[in-house]
Amino acid sequence: MLSIRLLSALLSVTLQLAAASADPLPAEIFAALPEIEGARLSPGGKAVAMISAKGGRQGVRIWHSDGEVDWYMPAGGDLINWVTWKGDDRVLMSLRATEFEQGSSSQPVGLSRLVFAELASRQSIRVAFHEPAASGHILVIGREAYRPPNVQDRVISLLPGDPQHILISAANSEDWAHANALLVDVRDGAPALLLRSTDRVVKWIADASGAVRVKTTLDHREESSILLFWARDDDHADWRMVHRYELDVGERFIPLAFAPHAPDDLLVLADQPNGRLALRTLNVRSATMGPVLAADPQCDIEPVERDSQVVGYRDSCQGQEETYFDGGWQKDQAMLRHALKIPLVEIVDRTPDGRYALVKTMASTTAPPVFWYFDQSADHAKTLVRIGQSNEGLKPEMAAPAKEVSITARDGLVLPAFLTLPPDHGDEPLPFVVMPHGGPTAHDSLQYDWIVQFIASRGFGVLQPQYRGSTGYGAAFQRAGYRQWGARMQDDVTDATSWLIDQKLADPNHICIVGSSYGGYSALIGAARHPELYQGAAAIAPVTDMGRLMRDRDHSEFGDINHRRVMGNMESAGVVSPVDLAPEIAVPVLLIHGRRDFTVPAAHTEAMETALRRAGHSPTVVYLKDTDHFFSDEEGRLRTLKALDGFLSAVLSAARTPRS
């Protein structure tokens, strides 16, 4: 076997355990924006583009294999969703911004745009539909907070065979409901209409040649919504329906991308008889399903996608590893696992000739990832260059370990959960934080989480229950959470807290509930319903007023669908609204919210603060001027962690009469 040469000034072949310190790591280490995120290898393999922190802000850093580095910093505080390449000399990035509706100082609007940055000239061109392409900052179009046409970064295909164009999907300001397929010139950012949508298109899919051959449309009705899947043989053929299913009732079906070596086979996720999503193919000419490529009896299969192509899959029930279809990718993954003595190795990108690859490794499931440049271009040598770690301040051995556990809810439903214990913990019960995730149609994982690791660094345990309604565990598990806000979903969080006590993991008199977004909602509901369980509640960017949530969702792209999943009717909004339960809260409360949050506007926290003060409480409230829902600014992250640190230290160290 050829030897692999490791080039890194800081690389240690074996991990050394750090000496235990009486002082916890500074909050600044955990609050730091990632130094490497969303990294992508150029088509020729000589450069890597990544989202990186610079001066507390997000920028795009271009790392060249010859040691040179270029930067692109968005104008006006715009943020970066993702970055990729269009050829070796041009980077494509998605920018997002938060502005405010015309005539409003409180209703934020979420916007996204595409920008091409040419490396040689250092010039950038924005894809512009309704504003001058030369304007630096993103402008608001219309008054809708969530709908198209303010969303303009949905790429259909990068058209690798066409150096001058890409395909995107976007609506115009006059007809937001119909997303057209557009051909965009990368030289000037000008879009041209390719396909006009005559129905409510959710997604377009192009084949390897760039021909748009599949579309998904939504047939919305009063009591149900149906997804229709259409295909055609070529650019000039008629559309024909190849599949359909009723949302929230039928077997799930999610088209992904065409298979690379079978021009008529579409890779899809489809529910199996056990209700779990499996990866398989659909022949779009015959409308027949092909064999199952990957499946699990307990978990949904998750695709690994790169630039609208599926390169592999992940089965979270079998660990965090990725499995690839290409034999070269698999070979490199196995080789690097052996050379680095690390089981968690991912191939982010690889050139078609296999000479260059971008690799991500994790020393443990919870450690910050490290990115490497793998050069196999020489005949008798392989070189692995360490580009950097996403958080250089946190050494892998400092990360608190985590594991998956199973909890049985009161009705017998088995709930997955992730348990993180602080390093060097003893056998005695610990002060604990119960941390339900946001979404709620989402799920946690064992991978590095800056808030979880910060809490654990303070000596507290963390439990992340995957309550019913979470994704990844099958259709029945997800749908069991529909219309269960403040009800069975909350019972699951309560049962998970009781499990901690029964297992003697948590000190029953020192438990706090903390969450963000829906998790913040859950934290406030938990404090109101079960003050005997929690010493305090910290709600970050929480939903607090269900009536407001439903009114806001009426302005969102798929609000008509999500409305039915959250609650049945507006009359029941007060029953599960934290603002109406404020008088029942008898424990300290911390509220944190960013003013630039367009997902859950800060008006929710303002209403909760008012309700608590009217009820005679004195909550600790932190408003963050330049922070969005995703905490994309370093100052907002740091202020959040410091506020959380002070709050948890106070409430979890306070004495409380033991429960009888």
DSSP 543-597: ---HHHHHHHHTTSTTHHHHHHHH-S-GGGGGGG-GGGSGGG--S-EEEEEETT-
Q: What is the pTM of this model?
A: 0.91
Q: How far apart are CA 551 and CA 571, in angstroms?
A: 13
Q: Find, among 31, 30, 28, 11, the residue nearest to 400 by Cα.
A: 30
Tokens of 582: 């404020």
Low-confidence winner among 61-65, 125-129, 236-240, 288-292 (lowest mean pLDDT): 125-129
What one-character DSSP code corresponds to residue 24? Answer: P
Average of per-residue pLDDT across 483-509? 96
Q: Is the dihedral of CA 234, 236, 239, 240 positive or negative?
A: negative
Q: What percent of the chain has pLDDT over 90?
A: 72
Q: At what angle do helices 546-553 and 603-614 cross, to 10 degrees?
A: 160
Tens-digit pLDDT profile for residues 394-425:
999 999 999 999 999 999 999 999 999 998 88
**Position 16 pLDDT exceeds 50:** no
Q: How far apart are CA 179 and CA 171, in angstroms?
A: 4
Please name the fold of domain 400-569+576-653: Rossmann fold (3.40.50)
Task: Give residue for tokens 């779990």.
Answer: 276
Q: How far apart are CA 259 and CA 267, in angstroms?
A: 6
**Position 620 pLDDT exceeds 60:** yes
Q: How far apart are CA 436 and CA 403, in angstroms?
A: 16
Q: In the β-sheet with 201-206, what is the strand arrangement from edge to edge? A: 201-206, 212-220, 225-231, 240-246
Please say whether the beta carbons of 516 and 438 come within 8 A: yes
Task: Give residue for tokens 């505080």.
Answer: 77
Q: How far apart are CA 35 and CA 51, in angstroms?
A: 7
Tens-digit pLDDT profile for residues 433-467:
999 999 999 999 999 999 999 999 999 999 999 99
**Position 143 pLDDT exceeds 50:** no
Non-local (6+) Cβ contacts of 180 within 8 A are 169, 170, 171, 172, 193, 194, 195, 196, 197, 201
Domain map (residue ranges) of the chain? 74-198, 400-569+576-653
Across the chain, mean pLDDT equals 88
- For residue 19, name the pLDDT band (cuts at 50, 70, 90): very low
